[in-house]
Structure 1
Amino acid sequence: MNNWWYGLYFLILGVISFFTGEIITFIMLGFILISLNNINNTLKKMSKQDKI
């Protein structure tokens, strides 16, 4: 998934969380998803370096 899809996913979750009143949960979920995305990108880079 590229960054455009992540942005769309955050937008949809943000709208849903606004109407349900779960703003703090949305913020925490956003931090977790960003952290996991960074870990995934780092592991992909390390994997590419090992293949060379």
Structure 2
Amino acid sequence: MNAFWYGLFAVILAVLSFFTGEIVTFLMLGFVLISLQNIHMTLKKLVQQKENE
């Protein structure tokens, strides 16, 4: 998924969380998703480095 779809998904979740009153849950979910994305990118870099060796 590219950055546009991540942004669109985040906006939809933000609007939904605003109307349901789950702002804190949205923020915590955002932190978890950002952390998972960073882990995923790091693992992809490691695999590419290993394949180049």
Q: Which whole-Å deviations, capped at 9, do the CAs of 1:1-52 have from their partners, x for residues lacking one? A: 1111111110000000000000000000000000000000000011000000
The aligned residue for residue 6 of structure 2 is: 6
In structure 2, distance between residues paired with 1:6 and 1:42: 18
The aligned residue for residue 25 of structure 2 is: 25
Gap runs ≥5 in structure 1: none
What RMSD in Å do the two structures reach over aligned CA positions? 0.5
Percent identity (aligned): 63
Q: How many aligned residue pairs are there?
A: 52
In structure 1, distance between residues paired with 2:40 and 2:49: 14
In structure 1, distance between residues paired with 2:20 and 2:46: 40
Kindly name which structure, 1 or 2, has the bigger radius of gyration based on alpha carbons. Answer: 2
Tell me the TM-score normalised to structure 2 length.
Answer: 0.94
Gap runs ≥5 in structure 2: none
Tell me the TM-score normalised to structure 1 length.
Answer: 0.96
The aligned residue for residue 35 of structure 1 is: 35
Whose relative contact order is higher, 1 or 2, with alpha carbons under 8 Å and at least 6 apart?
A: 1
